[in-house]
């Protein structure tokens, strides 16, 4: 039987339990306190460079990933890491839940501030009305917004949004595009990778809370930020999807080969590799 606990009950159960950095105390179904990895971190920006060569929006995000991946990660210095990883250290560029939610919150905040302002361009009485106006502005006439149109909507007030994920301009542009896709997926009820007017409004309505997908692999469920290795390539769980690098495994890396029947080795073709990556990405749970 699964028991639901109120916030006050959780505080009572966890009053004497201290969890390490990146963890939080919650009661289990027997009413006992247990520590688990943080589900979410705050949105405050205080970038730090981790010992794994990865930049984190704040210390909480660093400790949360250390918990999820069960690895030791410490802060090397304040600010972004130098983006010059060796081939062995390459990770896929992904939009994590924290990145997606940060972007969504910035847009919601911008919309709310524009409604309250005295700007002639915001001569509307509600956020809903303003979203309707922007939808009509950037829709190409098919009554839907695709990722390109959504990105144009964000660029409408790029300065106010401060959409900076990385010091590297190319990486920043890619991350922004990936997070736009993640935002579209957030409220895309018919999975056509476009947003109708209602889906667009839902996406940017603070009270809209869709289900959060997690990643699955071999009967296990993984949280956002979890990593796994596939040959010499690294795969990362991001917004419910496995995202993998696509390095050619040779030399100092493990070879892209499969053991065939009788123990002989069979070279993995590019088509087979793509299929394996696709199968991994398809392993998702709600």
Cα distances (angstroms) measured from residue 64 to each of 22, 92, 226, 251: 4, 19, 10, 34
Q: What is the pLDDT along the chain (286 residues), one digit of tens a residue?
A: 444 445 555 567 788 888 988 899 988 888 888 899 988 888 788 889 998 888 898 999 999 989 988 888 989 899 888 765 555 567 788 998 888 988 898 899 888 888 887 665 556 778 899 999 999 999 999 999 999 999 999 887 766 566 666 666 677 778 888 999 999 999 999 989 999 999 999 999 999 887 778 899 888 888 888 888 888 888 999 999 999 988 877 644 333 333 333 333 344 455 555 555 555 555 444 4
Selection from 148, 145, 162 nearest residue 103 by Cα: 162
pTM for the structure as a whole: 0.61
Answer yes or no: are the C-beta atoms of 239 and 213 closer than 8 Å. Answer: yes
In whole angstroms, give the CA distance from residue 47 to residue 165: 10
- pLDDT value of residue 91: 79
- Hey, which bits of 19-166 come out as E strands? 23-27, 33-37, 48-50, 55-56, 75-78
Answer yes or no: are the C-beta atoms of 262 and 256 closer than 8 Å. Answer: no
Q: Do domains 43-82 and 97-203 have the same CATH topology?
A: no
Q: Which fold has domain 97-203?
A: Recoverin; domain 1 (1.10.238)
- pLDDT value of residue 9: 55
Answer yes or no: are the C-beta atoms of 113 and 159 closer than 8 Å. Answer: no
CA 137, distance to chain mean position in Å, is 28
Question: Per-domain residue ranges for the chain?
Answer: 1-37, 43-82, 97-203, 214-285
- pLDDT value of residue 149: 94
The answer regarding whether domain 43-82 maps to CATH 3.40.50.300 reads no
- pLDDT value of residue 136: 94
- pLDDT value of residue 54: 86
- pLDDT value of residue 260: 35
Which tokens belong to 281? 């990405």
Answer yes or no: are the C-beta atoms of 32 and 25 closer than 8 Å. Answer: no
- pLDDT value of residue 254: 37
β-strands 23-27, 233-238 pairing: unpaired
Residue appearing with tokens 């909507």: 153
Name the region of 162 (left: φ>0; alpha: ψ -120 to 50; beta: rest). Answer: left
């Amino acid at each position: 039987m699964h028991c639901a606990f109120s916030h006050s009950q959780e505080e009572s159960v966890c009053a004497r339990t201290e969890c390490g950095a990146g963890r939080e105390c919650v009661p289990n179904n027997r009413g006992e306190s247990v520590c688990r990895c943080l589900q979410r971190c705050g949105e405050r920006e205080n970038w730090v460079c981790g010992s794994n060569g990865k930049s984190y929006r704040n210390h909480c995000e660093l400790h949360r990933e250390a918990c999820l991946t069960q690895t030791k990660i410490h802060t090397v210095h304040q600010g972004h890491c130098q983006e010059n990883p060796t081939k062995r250290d390459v990770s896929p560029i992904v939009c994590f839940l924290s990145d997606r939610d940060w972007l969504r919150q910035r847009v919601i905040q911008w919309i709310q501030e524009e409604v309250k302002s005295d700007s002639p361009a915001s001569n509307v009485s509600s956020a809903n009305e303003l979203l309707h106006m922007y939808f009509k502005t950037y829709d190409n006439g098919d009554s839907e917004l695709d990722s390109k149109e959504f990105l144009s909507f964000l660029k409408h007030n790029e300065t106010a949004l401060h959409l900076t994920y990385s010091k590297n301009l190319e990486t920043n542009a890619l991350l922004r595009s990936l997070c736009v896709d993640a935002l579209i997926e957030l409220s895309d009820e018919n999975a056509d990778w476009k947003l109708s007017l209602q889906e667009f409004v839902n996406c940017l309505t603070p009270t809209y809370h869709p289900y959060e997908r997690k990643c699955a692999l071999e009967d296990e469920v993984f949280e956002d930020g979890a990593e796994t290795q596939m040959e010499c390539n690294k795969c990362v769980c991001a917004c419910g999807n496995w995202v993998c690098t696509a390095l050619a495994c040779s030399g100092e890396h493990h070879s892209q080969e499969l053991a065939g029947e009788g123990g002989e080795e069979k070279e993995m073709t590019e088509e087979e590799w793509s299929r394996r990556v696709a199968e991994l990405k398809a392993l998702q749970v709600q």
